[in-house]
Amino acid sequence: MGTGQAGRGGIVALTACIGIWLVGSGTAERIGPPLPSPAEALAGGGQPGYPGGIDPLPGSPPVRVRIPSIGVDAPLTGLGLGADGSLDVPPPARRDLAGWYRDGATPGAVGTAVVVGHVDHASGPAVFYRLGALRRGAAIEVRRADGRTAVFTVHAVEVYDADRFPDTRVYGPSPRAELRVITCGGDFSPRTGYEGNVVVFAHLTGTY
């Protein structure tokens, strides 16, 4: 992401526009999307020296994201920043659509690429409803416009309160090819919606 301020603003905007289904169905107290367990967090609270990464690819826009272990297979749309510096979000009516930050790194290229999507929709779960159920070692596949598919391996899954979102930890630059996949999560308020975000940390481990 371009800056910490833009990153945090984008997450706030994403949080504010979802949670409609839980409010409308009156089920906020009984159900909700899965959340990561402490076992999936970054070791020691910092970036790990994970093995198995490969050299970054040249830049190329992504067109689709697949996460087989949680049943995600979704088209991607490019997202920019609004006038207030916050990240745009996919149209709320498109429960099947995810977005990527088009002014940052492209998935598979050097740097930290960012993909976001809604957790729910007015009529039910949306594209990243089960994101918090991901575990270390899971694969994320991003098909690119150049015909190549970048394969990422998850090395951590965390949940953060919106008012303590660690911008640098999530969006900071990297000399490797890394990916962050983000949706809403954490506590839920019928008045304000989700009060945090689920963040998946992954790194490039293969291509085909």
Q: For residue range 131-142, list pLDDT tens digits in order.
A: 999 999 999 999
Query: What local confidence, expressed as pLDDT, does residue 200 receive?
Result: 95
Say whether pLDDT at 46 is over 80. Answer: no
DSSP β-bridge partners for residue 111 = 177
Query: What local confidence, expressed as pLDDT, does residue 43 receive?
Result: 63
Mean pLDDT of 67-92: 88
Q: pTM here?
A: 0.85
Q: What does the alpha-carbon distance between residue 98 and residue 127 come to, in Å, rounded to a whole number?
A: 7
The residue segments making up the domain with residue 40 are 4-207
How sure is the predictor about 51, in pLDDT bands with cuts at 50, 70 and 90?
low
Q: What does the alpha-carbon distance between residue 23 and residue 148 come to, in Å, rounded to a whole number?
A: 40
Least confident of 30-44, 116-130, 183-197: 30-44
Query: What local confidence, expressed as pLDDT, does residue 151 receive?
Result: 98
What is the total count of domains within the chain? Answer: 1
Domain CATH for 200: 2.40.260.10
Q: Residue 38, exposed/middle/buried by CB under 10 A (0-12, 13-18, 19+)?
A: exposed
Per-residue pLDDT of 19-28, as tens digits, reads 444 444 444 4
Per-residue pLDDT of 142-155, as tens digits, reads 999 999 999 999 99
- Average pLDDT over all residues of the chain: 82
Mean pLDDT of 78-96: 81
